[in-house]
Amino acid sequence: QVQLVESGGGVVQPGGSLRLSCAASGFSFNNYGIHWVRQAPGKGLEWVTFIRYDGSTEYFADSVKGRFTISRDDSKNTVYLQMNSLRAEDTAVYYCAKAHDRSRNYFDYWGQGTLVTVSS
């Protein structure tokens, strides 16, 4: 069955960095794009970033552009989210989610999430 498992969350000071991982299994990883979606405490969902199935293109929300990068290692079935220059407003649960297919970016499978807390 499809599984997505996030890791790497934790507490970091403002201005610091953190790298999240999303390990996938149960599907043909190199055929699907992967998204990151976050949810601040008590708030709604916010789409953060996306990497295409072949790693050729990435997209970012304006709120993280220039600070976050996304990459994938198909040999490890893993997507990485590198977060730099972190701010208090980046505090959230970060979910990775699988794109349904190459043309429709709804999220048919989600990980359980990893909590990132930016605080001094």
Partner 1 sequence: EIVLTQSPGTLSLSPGERATLSCRASQSVSSSYLAWYQQKPGQAPRLLIYDASNRATGIPDRFSGSGSGTDFTLTISRLEPEDFAVYHCQQYGSSPPYTFGQGTNLEIK
Q: Which residues bind partner 1 (CB under 8 A)?
A: 35, 37, 44-47, 50, 59-62, 95, 100, 104-113
Rg (CA), the chain: 13
In the bound state with partner 1, the residue whose beta carbon lies nearer, of 13 and 57, is: 57
**Closest distance to partner 1 from the beta carbon of 36 (Å):** 11
**Closest distance to partner 1 from the beta carbon of 57 (Å):** 10
In the bound state with partner 1, the residue whose beta carbon lies nearer, of 25 and 75, is: 25
Contacts for 89 with CB less than 8 Å, ≥ 6 apart: 40, 63, 118
- 83 contacts 116 by C-beta, under 8 angstroms: yes
**Closest distance to partner 1 from the beta carbon of 116 (Å):** 15
Residues facing 81 on adjacent strands: 20, 70
Instruction: Report the C-alpha gap between 106 and 44 in whole angstroms.
Output: 16
**Closest distance to partner 1 from the beta carbon of 15 (Å):** 25
In the bound state with partner 1, the residue whose beta carbon lies nearer, of 47 and 74, is: 47
User: Cβ of 106: how many Cβ atoms within 10 Å?
Assistant: 10
